[in-house]
Amino acid sequence: MTEKTTFSDVDYTSHKENTKETTIHDEAPQRQASVALNIVDNPLRRTNKEQTVLDARTFAESHGMADDAALFGRAALVARDPERFETIPDLTEEERAALIYERDHKWHGPKMLWYSIGLCAIGAATQGWDQTGSNGANLSFPEEFGIGTKSAYDTWIVGLVNSIIFLTAGLIGAFIVDPLNKYLGRRGEIFLTAACLTATPIGSGFAQSWQGLFAARFIMGIGIGAKNATVPIYSAEMAPARIRGALVMFWQLWVVIEC
């Protein structure tokens, strides 16, 4: 028999007083068990339905959305058990119909979703073009900047200028992703790296020495590394679970297309 929970069944006051605050250490065994089973643990399943509703309502009220607290509560119940949302009695008929349509038409989505995924794909395309353009420049810049001889020094300099993009992407760009996302958010970080990857190719085109080209590519690599670790995650966060893999794949697909 299917368990059903309604908002009227929940005593929010007594539940709030009797609920022990959990910490990340209390939840560690559950996370470890999910990893052992090779599944992604749903954090909303770590508490009972009453606590899930209470947490969602509290979140809404504490962030100035008290009028939508009940909606947050219903949404939390759906997120807690998305495969059996039809058994949640508190959903309105309109909400239930919308969820059924989303389940049965997985490729249907709001225009803003496809617009956002498209922008993320363009970000991947620009990276592919940056990499291709940089590689093409290797045919001419050694002679242009007087480092085209076969000496060991010139060979090392050409190799350094050529590889610095990927060195700084991995050694610097990947490590500054966390603070950038923390203080700027996903979109702020993407905007900053996009500006970086707009300016540095222009700077590379106007470089008058190998040192100038090296500096432009140094900064370009930082932007590529930071963007690589954010845009696919941002796409995954926006995408519905049923088509998340396909939409996130657009990133690598468009890198390859532009290469």
pLDDT single digits (tens) 55-66: 999 999 999 999
**Amino acid in the structure at residue 115:** Y
The first and second tokens of residue 128, run together, are 């592919």
What is the average per-residue pLDDT within 80-97?
A: 85
Residue 24 scores a pLDDT above 70? no
Domain ranges of the chain: 7-104, 111-258
pLDDT at 102 over 60: yes
pLDDT at site 27: 55
* Phi/psi-derived region of residue 82, left when phi > 0, alpha when psi is between -120 and 50, beta in every other case: alpha
Q: Is the pLDDT of residue 9 over 60?
A: no
Assign 157 a pLDDT band (cuts: 50, 70, 90). very high
Architecture of the domain made up of 111-258: Up-down Bundle (1.20)
CB neighbours of residue 36 within 10 Å: 8
Instruction: Indicate if the pLDDT at residue 47 is higher than 90.
Output: no
Q: What percent of the chain has pLDDT over 90?
A: 28
Tell me: the pLDDT tens digits for 210-251? 999 999 999 999 998 998 888 888 888 888 878 888 888 877
Q: Please state whether 38 falls in left (phi above 0), alpha (psi between -120 and 50) or beta.
A: left
pLDDT of residue 156: 94
